[in-house]
């Protein structure tokens, strides 16, 4: 007799078969899902598939199509500048660059300083440059105390050295810690800073001077009243003043004189022809800076004018400089831009003759001569000058403003023509 077939459900291998079928079904389902996703991805636009980038080296797969970010220029280390009122003596062991601050002397040629970026002056050879990556801009050495009577500048302008001190105030070489550049800071005399009206007029005049954007006028960066001190921050000039040049090289050659005077005249015309004219009132060789390329830079615009308006007499200090003052300023008459042109005429005389037209034992005697004595011929001190050049100089020194050249351009053209005529 044949036995009946057994029930599959009772077979021990049946659960394994079901498990295998389940695994197979799951695999088929996952495969179909993967195929669906792949087809969907291929049908999407490129802007959407960019959200699922393929893995690739970072340098070979930019996340954006923007051009590469430009590299910043390499900053130069701050260098020890010289005074804007004359170069420091680099041979003096006590001078800047040789003291405990660790700054070595720099080979900058005859003037040895770094300007507030002089475009036509190349970077001195050997000046170290900080590497771009992983480098920090250098900071100047710690501030060296100058004395208990010296003002404390703001934290932004760390003063390093006293440059000059006079009746109107003091000038410091300072380092701008925010913009990392050397600047000149002029701090006014306490007697001036204490006058509230003078402070207001000073700051207003500084605003006008700061608007004078001209290659032959010093740039004004800041002016403020801090810790009872009134100060003005200017560009640091790479060079020395004309007074030192005259003392060392006078009389100057006429064509060179023409080039320098022409730049001063152009700067004065620029200031005088502003909507609100700016007068200098203290044109003299000490306020005329020369860069190594002999670009002229005028400094101290408007300060002497404000001193006069403050009606303040400081011990031993005149409003302006007697040798260069126009007669109308001495008399207290109404004056205009032609007073500056008279002072430029005195500078022209001194450049060609080697001395100003009026000299005396006392300032009062000089002022008296400015008012009452005709200037001697510059040919007495420089016989090689032509009569035509002599006439230009003497016209610039006319006592009556109406008899002078009426603009710097007029003076410059007349001087150039006289020199060219021989």
Instruction: Kindly list the catalytic residues.
Output: 282
On the CB side of 118, CA atoms within 13 Å amount to: 24
Residue 218 near residue 236, CB atoms below 8 Å: no
Paired residues of 173 in beta bridges: 161, 184
Surface-to-core class of residue 175, CB atoms within 10 Å of its CB (0-12 exposed, 13-18 middle, 19+ buried): buried
**Whole-angstrom distance, CA of residue 370 vs CA of residue 358:** 7
Hey, what are 113's tokens? 């300083």
Annotate 365-374 with b (16+ C-beta within 10 A) or e (fewer).
ebbebbeeee
Q: Minimal CA–CA distance to 175: which of 90, 78, 240, 101?
A: 78
DSSP letter string, 73-91:
PPPBPP----BTTB---TT
Q: Minimal CA–CA distance to 184: which of 210, 220, 139, 216?
A: 220
What SS3 state is found at 5? Answer: coil
**Whole-angstrom distance, CA of residue 409 vs CA of residue 263:** 10
**Whole-angstrom distance, CA of residue 219 vs CA of residue 237:** 10
E strand segments, 57-202 = 157-165, 169-176, 181-188
Residue 338 near residue 404, CB atoms below 8 Å: yes
Surface-to-core class of residue 107, CB atoms within 10 Å of its CB (0-12 exposed, 13-18 middle, 19+ buried): exposed
Hey, what are 189's tokens? 């005399």
Angle between helices 196-210 and 303-310 (to 10 degrees): 160
Sign, CA torsion 270/273/279/285: positive
């Amino acid at each position: 007799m044949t036995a009946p077939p057994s029930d599959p459900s009772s077979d021990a291998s049946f659960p394994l078969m079901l498990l295998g079928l389940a695994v197979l079904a799951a695999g088929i389902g996952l495969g179909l899902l993967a195929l669906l996703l792949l087809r969907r991805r291929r049908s999407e636009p490129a802007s959407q598939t960019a959200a699922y980038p393929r893995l690739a080296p970072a340098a070979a797969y930019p996340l954006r199509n923007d051009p590469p970010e430009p590299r910043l220029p390499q900053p130069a280390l701050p260098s020890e500048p010289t005074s804007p009122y004359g170069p420091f003596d680099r041979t003096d062991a006590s001078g800047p660059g040789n003291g405990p601050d660790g700054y070595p002397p720099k080979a900058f040629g005859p003037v040895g300083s770094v300007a507030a970026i002089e475009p036509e002056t190349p970077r001195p050879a050997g000046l170290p440059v900080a590497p771009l990556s992983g480098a920090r801009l250098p900071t100047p050495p710690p501030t060296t105390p100058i004395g208990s009577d010296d003002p404390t500048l703001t934290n932004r302008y760390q003063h390093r050295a006293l440059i000059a001190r006079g009746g109107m105030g003091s000038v410091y070489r300072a380092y701008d810690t925010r913009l990392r550049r050397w600047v000149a800071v002029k701090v006014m005399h306490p007697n001036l800073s204490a006058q509230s009206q003078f402070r207001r007029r000073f700051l207003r005049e500084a605003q006008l001077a700061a608007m004078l954007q001209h290659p032959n006028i010093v740039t004004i960066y800041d002016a403020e009243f801090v810790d009872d001190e009134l100060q003005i921050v200017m560009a640091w000039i790479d060079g020395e003043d004309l007074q030192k040049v005259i003392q060392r090289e006078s009389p100057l050659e006429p064509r060179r004189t023409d080039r320098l005077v022409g730049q001063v005249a152009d700067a004065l015309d620029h200031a005088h022809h502003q909507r609100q004219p700016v007068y200098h009132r203290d044109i003299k060789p000490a306020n005329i800076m020369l860069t190594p390329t002999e670009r002229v830079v005028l400094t101290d615009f408007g300060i002497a004018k404000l001193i006069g308006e403050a009606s303040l007499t400081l011990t031993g200090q005149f409003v302006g400089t007697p040798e260069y003052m126009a007669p109308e300023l001495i008399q207290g008459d109404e004056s205009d831009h032609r007073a500056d042109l008279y002072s430029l005429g005195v500078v022209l005389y001194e450049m060609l003759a080697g001395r100003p037209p009026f000299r005396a034992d006392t300032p009062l005697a000089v002022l008296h001569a400015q008012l009452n004595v005709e200037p001697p011929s510059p040919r007495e001190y420089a016989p090689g000058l032509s009569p035509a050049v002599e006439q230009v100089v003497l016209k610039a020194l006319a006592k009556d403003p109406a008899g002078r050249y009426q603009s710097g351009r007029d003076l410059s053209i007349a001087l150039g023509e006289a020199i060219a005529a021989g």
